[in-house]
Amino acid sequence: MADDSPKGTILLASGEFDRALAAFEVAGAFQAMGMQMSLWFLLYGANCIRKPRSRFSPAKWFRKFRGGPGRMPETDTFLQHVIKGLNPEGANHLPLSQLNFGGLGPILLRQVMRKKRICSLEGMIRNAHDLGVRFYICQICVDSMAITPDDFLYPVEVKGASSYYLDASSSQYNVVI
């Protein structure tokens, strides 16, 4: 894509299925139409691109935290293990923002999407990556939630809030979800 093409940014702060669906639908469509899109993930928004693990996976609860870009393991606490263990990982484990019904809501919505041949969230994430949407995660989120770039399904860069400001201020389209 040419350097003079318009830019867009989406900040996904929500870890909910329907909001992630909206973010990836817009990012993929705008990228396909020629806009250079950047998707920024904040706290629970990053759950949709994390490698899926069962809530009962020993690696999720007992794996030693590792260092990496944006990480300061020397300041880690036990509470981070609790947050990591309770936090859903992967696009197929996200709750709905409304009508979740203890996990039944996302199952019903996925079923409707499948029947109507609507691309799944996992498919939209893959399409966005394949189209060239850039993925970024906030450094504070990486450190506070004890995650590293290899916890993600797709390449993600760790950057600070000031980098988001620079990206958003040079964009023609900016939205926070």
Show the DSSP H helices in the chain as ranges.
17-32, 58-62, 78-86, 104-115, 121-131, 139-144, 161-169
Range(s) of the domain holding residue 59: 7-176
> Is residue 136 assigned to a domain?
yes
> Is residue 2 assigned to a domain?
no
> Is residue 1 assigned to a domain?
no
Residues present in the chain in total: 177
- Is 156 exposed, middle or buried (CB count within 10 Å of its CB: 0-12, 13-18, 19+)? buried
**CATH number for position 151:** 3.40.1260.10
pLDDT band at 30 (very low <50, low <70, confident <90, very high): very high
> Is residue 150 assigned to a domain?
yes
pLDDT tens per residue, range 142-159: 888 878 778 889 999 999
pLDDT of 1 > 60? The answer is no
> Is residue 119 assigned to a domain?
yes
> Is residue 161 assigned to a domain?
yes
| Predicted TM-score of the model (pTM) | 0.83
pLDDT tens per residue, range 103-113: 888 889 999 99
pLDDT tens per residue, range 84-101: 776 777 777 787 888 888
> Is residue 40 assigned to a domain?
yes
pLDDT band at 15 (very low <50, low <70, confident <90, very high): confident
Q: How many domains does the chain have?
A: 1
Residue 161 tokens, joined: 């809030």
> Is residue 110 assigned to a domain?
yes
